[in-house]
Amino acid sequence: MQKPIFIPYAHIPIKNIIFDLGGVIMNISYQKTLNEFKKIGITNIEELYTQAAQVELFDKFDKGLISPQEFRDEIRKRTSARLSDQIIDNAWNAMFLDLPKVRLDLLQRVKNHYNTFLLSNTNAIHIDYFNQLLNREFGLKDFSIFFHKIFYSYEIKMRKPDPDPFMLIVNENGLKPEETLFIDDSVQHIEGARQLGLMAHLLNVKEGDSIETLFRRE
């Protein structure tokens, strides 16, 4: 099987690749979640949550410092509407569009030639959604077959762009930063990785970038 080469770094001997999930593997639209939250009464959602920044509630949920129920209860406090758990979950998960099979096929090929890792700022509600989608569409229980190890922020109690999750992956797996590529669609995460000496590529989704077009077979 031919080795997939990441074209922007084809001149560098990469041994390890860390992937982001939302926006890199799964197509997402933050605007859809913003729109749904407005519909259920959170009219100031842009002040609370965006791709670039978010208030403490969302940070704590992504770090696993509060439970899904505590998260939902805090959302309820921000509106006079009577919101069920399912209504809140649906609005929170509205950002997820689709998961192209071509990307899962690519991840499997990449894993055969590199040490691959998944590093995602995420939470228990989102992970339940991901796993249900994987099971429904592909008959898989989770993403574990595509990576040597997965690092979800709510499990490791740390999130990008802080240096801690990058240091954890590097130290726990004995990686050399100069041999390690990080791929993400958020500029602040890219900057965080580069501060630790990792190679980092910003996937410009708005310009049509995708991992399946940036890898070629050697």
What tokens does 42 get? 């959170």
E strands, 43-179, are 96-98, 115-120, 149-152
pLDDT for 79:
82
H helix and E strand count, the chain: 11, 9
The confidence band for 45, taking pLDDT boundaries of 50, 70 and 90, is confident
Sorted by sequence, the CB contacts under 8 Å of residue 44 that are 6+ apart come out as: 78
Cβ(117)–Cβ(173) below 8 Å: yes
pLDDT at 54: 63
State yes or no: pLDDT of 148 exceeds 70: yes
pLDDT at residue 57, rounded to an integer: 84
Query: Does position 143 have pLDDT exceeding 70, yes or no?
Result: yes
Q: Which of 135, 147, 155, 144 is nearest to 62 (CA)?
A: 155
Domain boundary among 51, 73, 93: 93
Looking at the structure, tell me whether residues 84 and 59 fall in a common domain.
Answer: yes
* Domain hosting residue 82, numbered range: 30-93
Q: Which two tokens stand for residue 80?
A: 């006079």
Model pLDDT, residue 50: 55
Looking at the fold, whether 76 and 121 belong to one and the same domain comes out as no
Last-in-domain residue among 47, 75, 93: 93
* The predicted structure's pLDDT at residue 218: 61
Residue type, 148: H
Average pLDDT score over residue span 144-162? 97
Does residue 142 carry a pLDDT above 90? yes
**Looking at the 3D structure of the chain, how many domains does it have?**
2
Cα angle for residues 125, 131, 132 (degrees, 5° grid)? 90
105 and 170 inside one domain: yes
